[in-house]
């Protein structure tokens, strides 16, 4: 069933991988997509929150994979003060299991061959050029040649490293996460709720993402450099005990999110890396779904173009790194700087800011006005932010 050679082999069947495979196949390349797990989309390691506008650019919305729609954000300061923001945008809480399956189906429909339970455990390389992958199937091992390999193997990525890229993140740029899907609770369906504080989730935040009126993804992400002797699971248990003591735990999952800068290079001779494998998640929020879709689309298009030109060396594939930097690089750098600032704010500063914002009329609380008002009332916050950069 698996052939000896393809134009493009994609490693990993998450959003980045399926989009890469779909667009490479749609551009005329022969494509093999390999996923190590039994099922695309399982286990779900995600709070499933995503902005409608960003998502709509890549896939047509479908009620089958939208669990709920919401538009507002609530920030809860360390002292419990709540600040509501009406964002005027619509967000979705997805059903990632169905969503990831659908992306895989679309890749297959475009002509890609999708294989699950196919673990890639090495690359075929020659003179510094990637030329294929080594695969372990349940019943045998095999080697498959490829003109281009796309590493979409997520946070645990090894493709980039095997190919010679530096894809290690500093502990401060890595969020370790734990999440429970809680049932039998009461949640405000209209709000995504984010809780901050050194006693809640140091260097990160705890979230409540409603999937209905009595069910939510409740999780926390803490910076690996600031776990204060507790792991993410223990931080979350403490949070759940406090806010949802009677909840039923319907599912739980551990995972990690890259919250750092992009690697200097996202490509080389015969390969590219995309999505979490290339630290493309938003460093501030940890949200990586739409960036994974975007990167997959660009990588697939670049791969198909290279195959048509019959040239897939480093120079040709540089188009991927360039397009990514031009379209998303500045945002990513900006969010990284904001993350560095926000995650170093003291609890006291957070509380002061929350008290100021609570006094603003709800309709005035746009992100820009919130920022300006906080600074106008308490310029010391700016000094604290500036201090986190030196
Ligand atoms: C707890 C948690 C909550 C999150 N919440 C949100 C959220 O609310 N919104 C949001 O936008 N983002 C969220 N994220 C981040 C989001 O899940 C990722 O950014 C997104 O899934 C990245 O997509 P990807 O395709 O790059 O990687 P993944 O979705 O991780 O897919 C990688 C795939 O590669 C496979 N793979 C790995 N190694 C191999 C191998 N050697 N061979 C074959 N297959 C392999 C894996 O099994 C996996 O299926 C969250 C992450 C965590 C951990």
Centre of ligand 1 to C-alpha 245, Å, is 29
64-110 pLDDT, tens digit per residue, is 999 888 878 898 999 999 998 877 677 899 999 999 999 999 999 99
Q: How far is CA 371 from CA 65, 364, 368, 377, in A?
A: 34, 12, 5, 10
Beta strands in the chain (DSSP E): 5-11, 31-34, 49-51, 66-76, 82-94, 113-115, 119-126, 129-136, 141-151, 174-183, 191-195, 205-212, 215-223, 248-258, 267-268, 271-273
Place of tokens 């089958």: 64
pTM over 0.95, yes/no? no
* 37 C-beta closer than 6 A to ligand 1: yes
3-class SS at 266? coil
Evaluate if residue 14 carries a pLDDT over 50: yes
CATH topology of domain 5-44+97-170+262-335: FAD/NAD(P)-binding domain (3.50.50)
Distance 96 CA to ligand 1 centre (A): 10
Q: How many CA atoms lie within 13 A of 296 on its CB side?
A: 37
| Cα 154 to middle of ligand 1, angstroms | 5
Contact of 317 with 274, CB cutoff 8 Å: no
Which residue's alpha carbon is nearest to atom 27 within ligand 1?
154
Mutate to test the pocket of ligand 1, among 32, 45, 208 (most ligand atoms within 8 A of CB): 45
Residue 267: φ, ψ to 5°? -155, 175
- 34 or 189, greater pLDDT: 34
Say how many Å lie between the CA of residue 137 and the centre of ligand 1: 21
270, pLDDT greater than 80? yes
Round to whole Å and give the CA distance between 119 and 128. 23
Judge if the beta carbon of residue 46 lies within 6 A of ligand 1.
yes
- Main-chain dihedrals φ then ψ at residue 161, nearest 5 degrees: -65, -45
| Residue written as token pair 């939208």 | 66
Indicate whether residue 160 lines ligand 1 (CB < 6 A): no
Q: What are the residues whose beta carbons fall under 8 Å from the beta carbon of 303, sequence distance 6 or more?
A: 7, 8, 20, 23, 24, 27, 29, 148, 150, 272, 312, 317
Residue range 181-214, pLDDT digits in tens: 999 999 998 889 999 999 999 989 999 999 998 9
Which of 153, 256, 283, when mutated, tests ligand 1's pocket best, judged by the most ligand atoms within 8 Å of its CB? Answer: 153
Q: Are the C-beta atoms of residues 39 and 100 closer than 8 Å to each other?
A: no
Tell me the two tokens of residue 126.
Answer: 């020659």
Question: Do 24 and 10 form a contact (C-beta atoms < 8 A)?
Answer: yes
In the reported structure, the alpha carbon of residue 151 is separated from the centroid of ligand 1 by a whole-number distance in angstroms of 12
pLDDT band at 388 (very low <50, low <70, confident <90, very high): very low
Task: State residue 156 phi and psi, 5-degree precision.
Answer: -90, 15
- pLDDT value of residue 81: 94
Query: Average pLDDT, whole number, for the chain?
Result: 91
Nearest CA to ligand 1 atom 1: 46
Nearest residue to 284 (alpha-carbon basis) of 349, 331, 353: 331
What percent of the chain lies above the pLDDT cut of 90? 68
CA distances from 188 to 191, 211, 360 (A): 6, 10, 21
Task: Please tell me the distance between residue 278's alpha carbon and the centre of ligand 1 in angstroms.
Answer: 11
Q: Is 159 in the pocket of ligand 1 (CB under 6 A)?
A: no
How many A from CA of 258 to the centre of ligand 1? 10
Half-sphere exposure of 308 (CA within 13 A, CB side): 11
């Amino acid at each position: 069933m698996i052939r000896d050679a393809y134009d493009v082999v994609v490693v990993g069947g998450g959003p980045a991988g399926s989009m890469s495979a779909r667009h490479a196949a749609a551009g005329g390349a022969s494509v093999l997509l390999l996923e190590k797990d039994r099922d695309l989309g399982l286990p779900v390691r995600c709070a499933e929150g995503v902005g409608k506008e960003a998502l709509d650019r890549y896939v047509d919305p479908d009620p089958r994979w939208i669990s709920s729609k919401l538009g507002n954000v609530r920030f809860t300061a360390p002292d419990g003060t709540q600040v509501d923001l009406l964002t005027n945008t619509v967000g979705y809480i997805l059903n990632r299991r169905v969503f990831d399956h659908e992306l895989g189906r679309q890749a297959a429909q475009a002509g890609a061959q999708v294989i699950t339970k196919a673990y890639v455990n090495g690359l075929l390389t020659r003179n510094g050029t990637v030329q294929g992958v080594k695969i372990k199937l349940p019943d045998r091992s095999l080697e498959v040649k490829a003109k281009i390999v796309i590493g979409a193997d997520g946070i645990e990525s090894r493709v980039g490293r095997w190919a010679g890229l530096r894809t290690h993140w500093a502990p401060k740029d890595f969020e370790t996460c734990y999440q429970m899907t809680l049932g039998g609770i009461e949640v405000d369906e209209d709000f995504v709720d984010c809780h901050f504080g050194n006693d809640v989730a140091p260097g990160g935040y705890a979230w409540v993402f409603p999937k209905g009126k009595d069910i939510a993804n409740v999780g926390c992400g803490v910076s690996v450099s600031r776990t204060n002797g507790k792991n993410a699971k223990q931080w979350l248990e403490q949070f759940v005990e406090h806010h949802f003591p009677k909840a039923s735990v319907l599912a739980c999952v551990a995972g990690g999110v890259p919250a750092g800068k992009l690697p200097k290079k996202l490509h080389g001779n015969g390969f590219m890396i995309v999505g979490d494998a290339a630290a493309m998640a938003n460093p501030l929020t940890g949200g990586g779904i739409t960036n994974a879709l975007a990167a997959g689309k660009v990588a697939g298009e670049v791969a198909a173009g290279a195959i048509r030109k019959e040239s897939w060396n480093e120079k040709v594939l540089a188009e991927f790194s360039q397009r990514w930097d031009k379209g998303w690089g500045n945002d990513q750098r900006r969010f990284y700087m904001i993350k560095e600032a926000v995650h170093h704010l003291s609890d006291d500063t957070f509380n002061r800011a929350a008290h100021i914002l609570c006094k603003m009329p709800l309709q005035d609380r746009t992100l820009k006005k919130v920022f300006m008002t906080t600074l106008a009332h308490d310029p010391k916050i700016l000094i604290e932010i500036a201090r986190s950069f030196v």
